[in-house]
Amino acid sequence: MRPEFDVVSRKWSRPRAICIAAAVAAALVLLVLFVRSRAAAEPPRVAFSELLRDADRGVVAEVVVKGDQLDITHTDGRIVRTIAPSNYVTANPAFVSEMAKKGVRIDVRPLSEASAYSYGAIVLGLAFVGMLGLTLYRVTTGRIPALESKTRTADREASNVTFADVAGVDEAKEEVKELVDFLREPGRFSAIGGRIPKGILLVGPPGTGKTLLARSIAGEARVPFLFASGSDFVEMYAGVGASRVRRLFKDARRHAACIIFIDELDAVGRSRGGASLSHEEREQTLNQLLVEMDGFAPNQGIVIVAATNRPDILDPALLRPGRFDRQVTVGAPDVRGREQILRIHARKVSIGSDVDLRQIARGTPGFSGAELANLINEAALFAVRSNRSTVEASDLDQARDKALMGVERKSLQMTEHERVTCAYHESGHALVAALLPGADPLHKVTIIPRGRALGVTMQLPEGDRHTHTRDFLEAQIAILMGGRIAEELFLRQMTSGAGSDIERATDIARRMVCEFGMSALGPLAYRSAGNASGPDRGAGMSEATAERVDDEVRELVMRGYETARQIIARNRAAVRAMAEELLVVESLDADAIKAVIAQASAPRHGADVQASE
């Protein structure tokens, strides 16, 4: 069995030796380069009389004078060096003028220039090598203050977040409440022999308030909050992470009671035994964390709270009793939770009287606490941009559309034909969504490019959805097909714009067949049906089954296509009216869409429908 605890300091000697070797090698290379450059720069030596002779022959282009040393450049580019008789050039002013007359350029340079450059370069080079060696040494030994500790400590005063600031996670709050009593009076618990968990693992998707919850425990108990992120511990150099873990716990021990919070625990706590590059470093760090967790007494007053959204990949050693043996799920908030979260964040801005936060909570299914906090902030920014001092319902609507559909790209230049195509495409989606029973209600249709899409048809469920019925999924496929069909029927064209719709429809159909058991193939899970070249195709299903899966997927998509085609063909006038309206106003909300469909379906438009087909 692999030893669980490694003696980390044993590993110091290797990186240290590597640093010293690297610095010595760099210094040697620098020296060799210097000597070689000096040797290479030395031109061949000739007699002084040759200079005079060559100057007479007119083959000398330039003479560089450095004291008595003259470097001669010939007209053919050849460079030679000669030494003049002592003080010949300075004592003989006629020499310079004579040379100039013969067309020779004279360049007099100070004596020390060359050597000053060379020695300057070597001193700089050596200083650089020295600094490089020192830095490497200090990084590998974790002795650079800025790198050493990335722990952020919030002191008692700063940690003023309380349970009142956290909403929508009532069960999780209940679970951690007893910690507050323990942290306030650790002695009371040990007196009756109670055992409080050393480590609590908060499990949940990003932005659901795990950090906030941990902070609020510290705030309620009025103890310091030490924050570190798992990714801070994962470094290139072996040993740095482990030294940071040591320092974090050393910091913690200085306080009578405190909370250590480790965000993204999975970054450091992945199962050991992988073959990745940073594997050795991570293993050392994880071992150090385990050692430290075991190293303090249960009733010392230190509680470690960690957060992750991947508990499945954590090393089992982390989850053993005495370590992170209590898991608390922090899930996405439901509609009531969302309303409470919105209320908490709305307190920070000035909200207009027309704003109904319950309505907004209903229209933001699946939003996490962080997304809701961001929604209020974005709405406040929209209000400021419109020179208003209160946030109105329209600001929140705009902020929600931005969060749901992406940022408007008004600057994107579309040709008129592209706009028309987009208007019909979106109208096709919208009409099928409006008329198909079982589909989510429409929220908005727009042909203003948003995010990566040229136009968007947005539906919003009435309540929170946790499961989907077969009817709902089939309706979803039909709605996705609506765009392509509208283009085909009205513009007699196909465009690449339907690519992502087709991909999503196929994906839904494939999951219906392979995961949800909603086809003639029965309630079985079929693995990697979509990945024909995948390694586990054989393990998942046979060649013949794969073919049947493909047939079923095709059948589901084509059925959706046919449903959508019939709806659009029966309501051509409504699609046309919607597209024309979109080309003028660019966005239609749910009420406007209903009005357009109702008006276009009125009997007097019947003749128009016939004529346009």
Q: How far is the CB of 396 from ligand ADP (least distance, A)?
A: 17
Q: Is residue 216 close enough to count as binding ligand ADP by CB under 6 A?
A: no
Residue of 258, 341, 439, 486 that binds ligand ADP (CB under 6 A): 341
Query: Cα(354)–Cα(375) distance, rounded to whole angstroms?
Result: 17
Residue type, 103: G
Nearest-5° angle of CA 578, CA 583, CA 589? 55
Residue of 186, 219, 239, 369 that binds ligand ADP (CB under 6 A): 369
Q: Which of residues 190-209 bind ligand ADP (CB under 6 A)?
A: 206-209
The packing angle between helices 416-435 and 543-570, to 10°, is 100
Structure tokens at 160: 């003023």
With CB under 6 A as the contact rule, which of the stretches 161-169, 286-294, 411-419, 490-498 interacts with ligand ADP?
A: 161-169
Query: Cα(487)–Cα(275) distance, rounded to whole angstroms?
Result: 51
Catalytic annotation, pick one of 371, 378, 392, 426? 426
Q: How far is the CB of 11 from ligand ADP (least distance, A)?
A: 32
Q: Is residue 230 close enough to count as binding ligand ADP by CB under 6 A?
A: no
Q: Looking at beta carbons, which residue is closest to ligand ADP?
A: 369
Residue type, 550: D
Q: How far is the CB of 293 from ligand ADP (least distance, A)?
A: 21
Toward ligand ADP, which CB reaches closer, 133 or 219?
219
With a CB cutoff of 8 Å and minimum separation 6, the contacts of 137 are: 16, 19, 20, 143
Query: Cα(418)–Cα(430) distance, rounded to whole angstroms?
Result: 18
Q: How far is the CB of 337 from ligand ADP (least distance, A)?
A: 7
Q: How far is the CB of 504 from ligand ADP (least distance, A)?
A: 27
Is 426 considered catalytic here? yes
User: Mask 523-562, x = binds ligand ADP (CB under 6 A)?
Assistant: ----------------------------------------
The packing angle between helices 416-435 and 590-601, to 10°, is 80
Q: Is residue 211 close enough to count as binding ligand ADP by CB under 6 A?
A: yes
Structure tokens at 547: 């073919």
- DSSP code per residue over 63-124: EEEETTEEEEEETTS-EEEEEPSTTHHHH-HHHHHHHHHTT-EEEE--TTHHHHHHHHHHHH
User: Mask 108-147, x = binds ligand ADP (CB under 6 A)?
Assistant: ----------------------------------------
Task: Count the Cβ atoms, other than its own, within 10 Å of residue 71.
Answer: 16
| 258-263 and 225-229 beta bridge pairing | parallel
| 79-83 and 69-74 beta bridge pairing | antiparallel
Q: Is residue 311 close enough to count as binding ligand ADP by CB under 6 A?
A: no
- DSSP code per residue over 590-604: HHHHHHHHHHHHSGG
Residue of 154, 167, 477, 568 that binds ligand ADP (CB under 6 A): 167
Q: Is residue 332 close enough to count as binding ligand ADP by CB under 6 A?
A: no
C-alpha dist (Å) from residue 186 to 10, 248, 252, 529: 36, 21, 15, 56
With CB under 6 A as the contact rule, which of the stretches 141-149, 246-254, 367-375, 503-511 interacts with ligand ADP?
A: 367-375
Toward ligand ADP, which CB reaches closer, 206 or 366?
206
Residue of 305, 346, 373, 481 that binds ligand ADP (CB under 6 A): 373
Q: How far is the CB of 336 from ligand ADP (least distance, A)?
A: 12
Q: Interface with ligand ADP by CB under 6 A: which residues?
A: 166-169, 206-212, 307, 341, 344, 369-370, 373
Q: Which residues have a catalytic role annotated?
A: 426
